[in-house]
Amino acid sequence: MCVWLIIALSAALLAAPFFPPSSDAVQEVPFWYGTYAVVGIAILVFALLYWYVWIVLVPGWRGKRYEERMQELDDGTVVTRLVLVPRGRRVTG
């Protein structure tokens, strides 16, 4: 039940900027009330497209791909690196 409540609350928070404010709260502004929400969504979409182009498309055109490589540092911290490898090969260790 709690999970569905959190999902409903999250959906309401995502949708809220697109509902017009009450008429007494409207001020004279030169732009639409939901502009900030649209700009935020546009930035996220642009970031996703940027990632897709530089991590998936460009290496694919060159016959390569990125692969994750786990590495343990001297202090025991485990980090993940992205390594550019030829398509069809796997990087070990």
pLDDT tens sequence across 20-29: 877 665 667 7
Give domain status of residue 22, yes or no. yes
Give domain status of residue 18, yes or no. yes
Distant-in-sequence, close-in-space partners of 31: CB < 8 Å, separation ≥ 6: none
What pLDDT was estimated at residue 21?
Answer: 78
Number of domains in the chain: 1
What pLDDT was estimated at residue 71?
Answer: 92
Give domain status of residue 93, yes or no. no
CB 90 within 8 A of CB 66: no
pLDDT digits (tens, 9 = 90+) for 32-80: 888 888 999 999 999 999 999 999 999 999 999 999 999 999 999 999 9
Give domain status of residue 16, yes or no. yes
Give domain status of residue 40, yes or no. yes
Give domain status of residue 7, yes or no. yes
Domain encompassing residue 58: 2-86
Give domain status of residue 48, yes or no. yes
Give domain status of residue 72, yes or no. yes
